[in-house]
Amino acid sequence: MLTQVAEGVLAHHSELLKNNTVVVRGADGVLLVDPGIEGSEMACLAEDLRRLDLPVVAGFATHPDWDHVLWHADLGAAPRYGTARCAAFMRDVRSAPDWEARVAEGLPPEIIGQVPLEPYGLITALPAGATQIPWEGPRVRIIEHPAHAPGHAALFIEEHGVLVAGDMLSDVFVPMLDNWTDTNDPIEEYLTGLRLLEAVADEVDVVIPGHGSVGGAGEARARIERDRAYLHALRDGREVDDPRITSPEPGWEWVSDIHEGQVRSLAKRNEGGGTGG
């Protein structure tokens, strides 16, 4: 079901991981951001758009996590944009001879076989440093940053005051850091991403996270502050007091496992002499 969240902006909510698909009306059709998750959901979304006489004229993947690079044939053959780094990441994924099997192994078991893989990750790279979506519709600013995943980008629909945050500013997930490596500082990268989102926070009337509930005026800044507090506590080795961990929504207790995994990874990284932010 599509729900209007702001003038010219609709959202579809998936219950499995509380994913949000965003639909932005343009002159000749819609921009579709992060469609998912199950094939039946995407087919239903395509039918809803058909009934509204809203063809998909462009797509966008906020980052290369599996649940943000999905597509369905019923949505049409519009270009599906992403940052240059996001598109390059997906090219590497699809270049492996057994990529479909690898992707399927990473899916939640309850939807294996229900996610169309043929169009998976077919992302058209925007020029490096691109700052807006190339389409006939309201200006959609691209805010690329290093947090969470390679080539991650938020979208700011300036005319309507809507921030599409990708996998940030969630009220159900704690900040999830990029893979721990010897060459990056994932906490500082995430803090950098928050600073870039903060630069537009006072202009945001509606924030749409990749997972969780849509927030109204003032919620973008509140979520930025909550995520920053989490990261500072994680970095400093302090106890984390965050309702997403201490009092999670029923059925989402496993978010604490994500947190504990990040605590262990940071401790291991620090023991090895790596940077910790």
83 in a domain, yes or no?
Answer: yes
pLDDT score for 269: 78
pLDDT score for 36: 86
Domain count, the chain: 1
CA neighbours closer than 13 Å in the CB half-sphere of residue 126: 25
Q: Which domain holds residue 98?
A: 2-271
Whichever domain contains 82, its CATH number is 3.60.15.10
Token code pair at residue 238: 């302090």
Which strands make up the sheet holding 206-209, listed edge to edge? 140-144, 153-157, 162-166, 206-209
Note the residue count of the chain.
277
3 state DSSP class of 49? helix
Indicate the pLDDT class of residue 210, thresholds 50, 70 and 90: very high
Query: What is the Cα–Cα distance from 49 to 39, expressed in whole angstroms?
Result: 15
pLDDT score for 183: 65
Query: What is the Cα–Cα distance from 181 to 185, expressed in whole angstroms?
Result: 8
pLDDT score for 63: 98
pLDDT score for 55: 98
Write out the DSSP string of 212-246: S--B-TTHHHHHHHHHHHHHHHHHHTPPP--HHHH
118 in a domain, yes or no?
Answer: yes
3 state DSSP class of 10? strand
Q: What is the chain's mean pLDDT, rounded?
A: 94
178 in a domain, yes or no?
Answer: yes
Report the range of poorest mean pLDDT among 28-32, 143-147, 206-210, 264-268: 264-268
75 in a domain, yes or no?
Answer: yes
277 in a domain, yes or no?
Answer: no
276 in a domain, yes or no?
Answer: no
Indicate the pLDDT class of residue 1, thresholds 50, 70 and 90: confident
Q: Which tens digit of pLDDT belongs to each residue from 153-198?
A: 999 999 999 999 999 999 999 999 986 556 679 999 999 999 999 9
Work out the percent of the chain whose per-residue pLDDT is above 90: 90
pLDDT score for 179: 65
pTM: 0.95
105 in a domain, yes or no?
Answer: yes
57 in a domain, yes or no?
Answer: yes
> Would you say 145 and 193 are in contact if contact means Cβ atoms under 8 Å apart?
yes
